[in-house]
Structure 1
């Protein structure tokens, strides 16, 4: 226990780092759900983003280009989801699961095409951390919070921007109206189908960036299962955060904390199987969903197909 307490500064730093991919994806899902699209295919979008980000970064030596291409790959795959759910009115849950099967399959196949069938994982590089002067010198919390990668800073900056967008801009209010009642929104001149596609673009981009973070900032390689269910945790974070950017920040930080704790416990208590500690974040996810279920305040049209001819 003493070793665990002494590692609290490192746990805090890990929490900030582990929160980033969750926050990227959860904010993307916020846009999707505000437009009435419940996308459970986030794991698939993260996987294709993680693979693309790693391969492009490895081949070009430009990790930022890798992140950008990861976002583009996320958008491309999510357009399949958007077309099927918006135009064809396919069940959103079924389509999300299809994305979770399709995207990792594409990533695994493409990885073997690019790097061959060797059992040794290809190692790349990760982004350097950037310490903010003065702030990073604050005792205990300074190095943990203010010594992160630029991509991490960008992620946290998105929180106030998303809050402002949904709360203070006309376009954000249009998003919210489509998620509540797309038929009524159409009568006010809002193009609900266009909004749903725009939401899918933003969701795909942010989910792809979240995946790319894992292979360009967190680890230096791509492997099957690198996402490890984080898409589903991000989905839970949106519900737990009450469909609010600030609430989502709090919930993802909490999930990130439990993830950091389980990593620290694996090191501090080596006698216990690491699988026991690895399940801590997922157990907390189940508990959070039990007490904060989706029926307590989400957008009214969430998950429902929209038939434009209905008025």
Structure 2
């Protein structure tokens, strides 16, 4: 059993936050879709360094899934999630249902450009509109001082950071470094989909990025290093959606070292599982 307080409505949530505010306490939000793992716990641990009270939202957001994606089979483990959040010292789990988040007649989404263009958008064109809309709602519902997002979803982090800045939302968006398995695989709720053989292959995604970053830092042309990484990933059995070098802030294409901080980003399918990862190229 767990003693974490679980709230299901915006009204309940706002009442709790008002009480914290009246006591002069800072509030942190960790937005999740559940199926919590050590990467999420790292976000909760980081939240303790920024705030007095922590809210974890658990909501599998339908608007960020395309009709062909895995909404129906996305892992849902609420009891285990609540236990993990409680053990991490979280104060409230906010667990709304779809009707609470998207009541009848809901007709508003956020229009995006800038870092939302390209990469994921080329393959999931409606994804970030759904992400930005639900995150904006969570920001207004929880009124946090700070919100924490994992760097594994690096483009998402860039989109949310830009949105909060552009819309003057009074929240500090903090990125937390990617948590990895000992073999380098980025932690993800979707890793449970991998077969045993696929799980052995999956760490090659991170290794290809690491090798490319080292090559670029050692003087190789960016385009050549990226192309070599694509070949490596493809030869390992991945179907590559993209593997790109981008400016770490704007996510604009980067042609050479010295044109700004570089981030290498990849999305690739291994069997039925789509994996994403990213790493910086050291300055």
TM-score band, normalised by the shorter chain? Answer: under 0.3
The answer to which structure has the higher strand fraction is 2
Q: Which has the higher contact order (CA 8 A, sep 6+)?
A: 1
State the TM-score, normalized to the length of structure 1: 0.24
